[in-house]
Amino acid sequence: MHFSVQANEQVNPERSQTPITLFGLSSSPIFNTILLKQTSAEAESLAIILTHLSTLEVNLKEGNFSHVISYMENNPKTCIRNIIKTPEREQYLYFSKPQLILLGKRMFFSHKFADFFKISKPEVLSFSELSELKPDFILGIEEGRSYGIDLDAMIAQLPDKNKYLKSKDDEEGLLFSMLYRQRIDVLLASPSSMKFFGRKFQIDQSFESSAIAELSPILKSHIVCSKTPEGKAIIKQFDLAIEEAYQDPTYFQTLINWVAYENHDIYRKYYNKYLKIN
């Protein structure tokens, strides 16, 4: 089963398509064939990119990162979507132009905890400032998840009493639910993921938040392929499709639909800065 590119009717039928496998990441060690469910900013933006991709036949699967990387060793026409660029990963993967740009992770506060900031909630807050202001806060984090080099280092320095650890086996969205029910005080998340779980749990309620002083205000993710001649050629094809998607009005509208209205102006600024010129 593969994603059916909507633009196929306009493609020369004599022009062959190169079959590739594009993985989305999951916790499952088993590779599953999937359909592209347009229920997130990432999935919806990818769907638009694929309509501009006439040279590749994309088979969608999902699996966990380490298993997919091992699979790549013998299957060079393998790629992964929605990956954050790091110097370590660049050593063994080719990265596309940004697949999408989202507002970066923020500190979201439970309603009770946000009352603490009623007089002057800081727009930007560091972990050290948070610890000084409220030493007994509880941060919800996911077991085995990396929040990025800088955040991981800061989380590691927090005492265990300040952390609630979500098990890999717990329900997806548990931490969002716990923040809503005020079982934890702080959750690190992107605005788009908070909107996603708000829809999932049918909670039409906003959460106070602050930017994290130590982090970039934006988050870019990429499609990556094996660092082989085949992978390099595939990335070039994705780059062409991504550049066309940038100029597609529906692409921007799709992404901004996942951004809270009050953040539209700042998102538009970062979109124009980081996507239109890259």
Q: Report the pLDDT value the prediction gives residue 115, as an integer from 0 to 100.
A: 80
Q: For residue 207, how far is the Cα from the chain centroid? A: 20
Q: Please indicate, yes or no, whether residues 87 and 134 belong to a single structural domain of this protein.
A: no
E strand or H helix that includes residue 167: none
Task: Choose one of 160, 189, 212: the last residue of a domain.
Answer: 212
- Which residue type, as a one-letter code, is found at position 184? I
The pLDDT, as a whole number, for residue 15 is 52
141 and 196, same domain (yes or no)? yes
| 144 torsion bin: left (phi>0), alpha (psi -120 to 50), beta (else) | left
Full strand arrangement of the beta sheet holding 139-142:
124-125, 209-212, 106-109, 186-189, 139-142, 163-166
Residues 25 and 71 in one domain: yes
pTM more than 0.85: no
Range of the domain at 92: 6-102+220-274
In a shared domain, residues 208 and 111? yes
Name the DSSP letter for residue 144. T
The torsion defined by the Cα of 117, 121, 125 and 129, in degrees rounded to 10, comes to -40
| Residues 96 and 110 reside in one and the same domain | no
Q: Which residue is listed with tokens 């590779």?
A: 31
Based on the domain organization, do 139 and 177 belong to the same domain?
yes
Which runs of consecutive H residues, i.e. helices, occur in 16-172?
41-51, 65-72, 87-90, 111-114, 127-133, 149-157
The total domain count for the chain is 2
- Edge-first strand order for the sheet with 78-83 is 32-33, 56-63, 18-25, 78-83, 218-226, 93-103
> In terms of domains, do 98 and 110 share one?
no
What is the phi/psi pair of residue 135, to 5°?
-60, -20
**pLDDT 10s digit of each residue in the chain, 278 long?**
333 333 333 334 445 789 999 999 876 677 887 777 767 889 999 999 999 999 999 999 998 888 999 999 999 999 999 998 888 899 999 999 999 888 888 899 998 888 876 656 678 888 888 888 888 999 999 877 777 777 888 888 888 999 998 876 677 788 999 999 999 999 998 887 888 888 888 887 788 888 888 787 788 899 999 999 999 999 999 999 999 999 999 999 999 988 878 788 888 888 888 776 44
CATH code where residue 269 lies: 3.40.190.10
Whether 224 and 96 map to the same domain: the answer is yes
> 86 in a domain, yes or no?
yes
pLDDT of residue 130: 86
Residues 120 and 98 in one domain: no
Together in a domain, 255 and 117? no
Is residue 1 a part of any domain in this protein? no
Do 93 and 114 lie in a common domain? Answer: no
Residues 133 and 188 in one domain: yes
Question: With contact defined as beta carbons under 8 Å apart, do 42 and 195 qualify?
Answer: no
- The residues, ordered by sequence, that sit 6+ positions from 142 with a Cβ below 8 Å of its Cβ are 165, 166, 168, 175
Contact in structure between 207 and 109 (CB atoms under 8 Å): yes
